[in-house]
Amino acid sequence: EFTGDISFADADFVGAVDFKYARFGGDTSFNTATFESVATFNYADFAGQADFMHAIFERKADFSKVAFADYAIFYATFRQKAVFNYTRFEGKADFWSAEFHDMTDFWVAQFDEDADFRYADFHDYVSIRETSFAGLADFTGVDFYDDIRIDRVKPGRTPIAMTEASL
C-alpha cells in the first residue's frame, strides 16, 4: 500500500512489474515511465489522480479490474496488448492521442464520467464490449487500422461521438 502521493515519473522498469492488488492512496504518477516487460495492475486501486502521460508499455499492459477513483490520464503508447477488462473509471478517463499497437480490450469496463479517446490510434483489433459510458464517449479523430468490435455498449446521457474517425 502506498499512502499519499507517489511518483514513478521517468522510471525505467526493466523486468516484469506486478502492482496486482496495490493500493495507491494519493495522486500517482507514472509520467514518461517505460515498462520494458509485462506490466500487471490487476485489482489495483487508485484513490487519487493516476497519471500515465507519455508512458510507454513495451509488452502487455493489464489493467483488468482496476478502480480509478479520480482522473486517469493515459496519453500513453501500448506496443503490445492492452487490457482494461472490468475496469472502473469513476473520474474522467483520458486516452487522448494514445497509441495502441496490438490488440486492445475494454470488456465490461465502466466509465462514470467522460471518456476521451480523441485522436487515439488503434493499429490492431480493438474490442469494446458490454462497456458502459455514463458521460460523453468521444472518439473524434480516432484511427482504427484493423477490425473493431463494439457491441452491447451502454451509452450515457450523451451520444458516442465518432466525428472524423476512420474505420
Place of cell 458521460: 135
Q: What is the mean pLDDT of residues 113-136?
A: 93
- Per-residue pLDDT tens digits for 63-100: 999 999 999 999 999 999 999 999 999 999 999 999 99
With beta carbons less than 8 A apart as the criterion, state whether 134 and 155 touch. Answer: no
Tell whether the model's pLDDT for residue 20 goes beyond 70.
Answer: yes
What pLDDT is recorded for position 78?
A: 98
What pLDDT is recorded for position 1?
A: 84
Tell whether the model's pLDDT for residue 59 goes beyond 80.
Answer: yes
Percent share of the chain, pLDDT over 90: 83
Tell whether the model's pLDDT for residue 158 goes beyond 70.
Answer: no
What pLDDT is recorded for position 166?
A: 62
- Three cell numbers at 49? 489522480
What pLDDT is recorded for position 121?
A: 96
Place of cell 500500500: 1
Q: What is the DSSP letter of 44?
A: -
Tell whether the model's pLDDT for residue 167 goes beyond 60.
Answer: no
3-state SS, residue 70: coil
Q: Alpha helices of the chain — where are they, by DSSP H? A: none
For the entire predicted model, the pTM comes to 0.92
What pLDDT is recorded for position 151?
A: 83
What average pLDDT does the structure give for the chain?
Answer: 93
The C-alpha atoms of residue 4 and residue 120 are separated, in whole angstroms, by 31
With bands split at pLDDT 50, 70 and 90, how would you rate the model's confidence at 19? Answer: very high
What pLDDT is recorded for position 162?
A: 65
Place of cell 506486478: 18
